[in-house]
Structures are given as C-alpha cells and as structure tokens.
C-alpha cells in the first residue's frame, strides 16, 4: 500500500461510521485505481480528491444526523432563544422586586434546560442512538445561546436608563467596587455571556443525554414490540 | 420532498454528478472507477469528482431507485457495480428532453428578428 493510500485511509475515517462501513472499502478501491492510473498525475489526483471532500463530508454528516432532527433541533433552539430574549427584556426593561427576580431566574433555568432535553429525547427516539440525541441537543444549545446572548446585550442597550436606577444593579455595583456603572454593566453582561451558555451547555448536555437515553430506550422497546 | 423522489421532481434539473452518472450507466453497468472515468471522458474533462462525491451520489441514487447494485464477477471484491433501473432511464430521458427544450428556446432567442 502506497503512502497516498494510507493518507486516503485517514481521509475516509472522517466520514460518518455508517457511511464508512457501507462504502469505505469501495472508496479506497476507487482511490487505489486512481493511483494505478498512470494517466492521472499525482497533483490532479489529490486536487480532485480533496476538492470534493468538504461537500461530500458535510452532506453525509448532515444526512447521518438526519436533516429533520437538525431542523427540529434548530427550531427548539429558536424557541429557547426567544424565551431567553423575553426573560432578558423583562429582566432589564422592568424594575422587579426579589420575588420577581426569583420567578425570572426559575424561568431562565427552564428555558435553558427543557428545549435541550426535548431535542435530545426526540433526536434519540428516531434511531435509538444517544449520540444522535446529544448532537441535536447541542444544536439546540448553539442556536438558543447565540440568540439569548445577542439579545441580552441588545436589551442592555435598549433599557440602559433602567439599568442605572435598578436598586439590584446599584447594590451589585457597590459590592464590585468597579469605577463606573458602565464598567459594571459591561462586566455583568460579559459574565452572563459566558456563564449562561456554559450553564446551558452543561445542563443541556446532561439533561439532553438523559432525554436521549429515554428516547433510545423507547425506540428499542418499540422495535422489540414490532418484532 | 421525500428522499425517494428528490431526483424526480417534474421539470427540475439534475445535478451534474447525477446526470453524468445516469448517462454513464445508460450505456452499460459499471463499477465505481469505471463510472468516474466515463464521466470525465464524456464531459471532456469539464466534470471531475473524486470517490467521496461518487459514492455519496450513488448512495442517494440507490435510495431514490434510479440505480441498483448488481453482482458482477470482479477482480477485486471491494469493487461495486451498478446498473440503471427503469426509473433511472425515465429520469434521464426527462432530463434530456428538458435540455432539448431549453436549447430550442435559447436558439430561437438567438435568431435574428424577421
């Protein structure tokens, strides 16, 4: 086996396992025949092989995950982002008391966790694989977090005046010892931009995996019943 | 659109790999590398793709029922051979007709008025 065929073996390993199992030997065989064909210069061979790699890889990975699951994961992410946006707007646009903050906090937590869990559950139920459920849960997390963080900064800008007179903000500002309120608001948002998605990722992945495990179990049970 | 009829949308053009693979298999059954060579030759080098695009395309065409895999005597057991189905032949004929119509329209548009 030539070094080129060894390298191509590594390239084949980038395809999803299902596709690799079905077509991996055939891919390597075609490459082997290309190498043996003296009419094809080495540079053209690699140009052709690497040129069509990104498209075919993306297509297979997308299909492997199930285009429908990905779309559903993204839609749930959109729902998560919209709910997060609503929480941002209320949190920053309305001056609320401690009870209000507690309700907002609980809603925020639910908005971060439930869509990821549902996405993981629905994804895994399709093919019984926890990995599929976890991947769709992560798609939900990515879309939801991107929207949530972006609208948090937007809400701070829109309701800037409210931020300056919010008693909770003023108390927190004094505790931090930062020189200006602007510096405090920037610091506060930056922390939330990191902590919010990180918390969502950890909790979403955990609950998404739990949802995926349930979906996987239900999928196997349904197949056993059918058989 | 379901996966099964993604190649049979009425009037919709086929992608270059699908069209050339259909064309290649309309002559005779072929294995992977034979298809690649024929695509390259019949398109006079204009269409070139590697094993990745070839097998992702063949996979989707199999799922759509345009081609079938056949058992053929092979020098190498890793080789896989494919044949066009009736559905595939109809789809190719429809594509050629669509191209003919487009060419006729283009020719008429290019003729001098009067």
Q: What is the mean pLDDT of residues B83-103?
A: 92
Q: Which domains does chain B have, with CATH numbers?
A: 14-110 (1.10.10.10)
Give B-chain residues touching A22 at CB under 8 angstroms: 59
Give B-chain residues touching A57 at CB under 8 angstroms: 52
Distance from CA of B14 to the nearest CA of A (A): 17
How much is the pLDDT for A219?
A: 65
Of A149, A154, A148, A155, the C-alpha closest to A89 is: A155
Establish if A59 touches chain B: CB-CB under 8 angstroms. Answer: yes
Q: What is the mean pLDDT of residues A58-85?
A: 79
Give A-chain residues touching B54 at CB under 8 angstroms: 30
The torsion defined by the Cα of A75, B6, B39 and B67, in degrees rounded to 10, comes to 130
B51/A37 Cα distance (integer angstroms): 14
Give A-chain residues touching B76 at CB under 8 angstroms: 29
User: If DSSP codes are grouped into helix, strand and coil, which group holds residue B31?
Assistant: strand
Read off the pLDDT of residues A94-134 as tens digits, 9 standing for 90 and up: 777 777 777 877 777 777 778 887 887 777 776 666 777 77
Question: What residues of B are in the A interface, CB distance below 8 Å?
Answer: 32-33, 36, 48-56, 59, 76, 78-80
CB atoms within 10 A of CB A223: 10
Distance from CA of A187 to the nearest CA of B (A): 48
B1 confidence band (pLDDT: 50, 70, 90): very low
Mark yes or no for CB contact A23/B48 under 8 Å: no
Which ipTM value was assigned to this complex? 0.82
Which positions ≥6 away from B78 have C-beta within 8 Å?
A25, A26, A28, A29
User: For all residues of chain A together, what is the average pLDDT?
Assistant: 81
Residue-range domain boundaries for chain A? 3-61, 66-226
How much is the pLDDT for B6?
A: 53
Among A29, A34, A56, select the one facing B52 at the smallest CB separation.
A56
Of A108, A138, A147, A148, the C-alpha closest to A207 is: A138
Of B62 and A97, the structure prediction assigns the larger pLDDT to: B62
Optimal mutation site among B35, B38, B52, interface A, most CBs of chain A within 10 A: B52
How much is the pLDDT for B76?
A: 64
pTM for the whole structure? 0.57
């Amino acid at each position: 086996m030539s070094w080129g065929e060894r390298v191509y073996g590594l390239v084949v390993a980038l395809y999803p396992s299902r596709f690799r199992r079905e077509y991996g030997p055939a891919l390597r065989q075609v490459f082997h025949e290309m190498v043996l064909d003296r009419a094809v210069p080495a540079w053209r061979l690699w140009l052709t092989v690497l040129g069509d790699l990104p498209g075919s890889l993306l297509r297979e990975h997308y299909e492997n995950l199930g285009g429908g699951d990905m779309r559903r994961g993204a839609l749930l992410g959109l729902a998560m982002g919209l709910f997060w946006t609503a929480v941002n707007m209320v949190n920053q646009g309305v001056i609320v008391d401690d009870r209000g903050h507690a309700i907002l906090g609980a809603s925020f937590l639910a908005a971060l966790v439930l869509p990821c869990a549902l996405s993981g559950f629905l994804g895994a139920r399709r093919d019984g694989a926890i990995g599929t459920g976890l991947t769709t849960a992560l798609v939900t997390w990515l879309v939801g977090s991107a929207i949530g963080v972006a609208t948090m900064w937007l809400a701070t800008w829109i309701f800037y005046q409210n931020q300056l007179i919010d008693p909770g903000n003023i108390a927190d500002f004094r505790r931090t010892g930062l020189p200006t309120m602007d510096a405090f608001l920037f610091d506060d948002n930056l922390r939330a931009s990191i902590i919010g998605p990180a918390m969502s990722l950890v909790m979403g992945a955990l609950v998404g995996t739990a949802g995926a495990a349930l979906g996987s179990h239900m999928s196997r049970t349904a197949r056993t019943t059918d058989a | 659109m379901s996966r099964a009829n993604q190649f049979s949308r009425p009037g919709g053009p086929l992608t270059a790999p699908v069209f050339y693979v259909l064309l290649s298999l309309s002559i005779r059954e072929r294995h992977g590398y034979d298809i690649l060579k024929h695509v390259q030759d019949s398109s006079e080098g204009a269409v070139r793709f590697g094993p990745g695009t070839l097998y992702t395309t063949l996979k989707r065409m199999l799922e759509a029922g345009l081609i079938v895999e056949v058992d053929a005597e092979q020098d190498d057991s890793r080789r896989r051979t494919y044949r066009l189905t009736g559905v595939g032949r109809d789809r190719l004929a429809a594509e050629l007709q669509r191209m003919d119509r487009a060419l006729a329209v283009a020719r008429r548009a290019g003729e001098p008025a009067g």
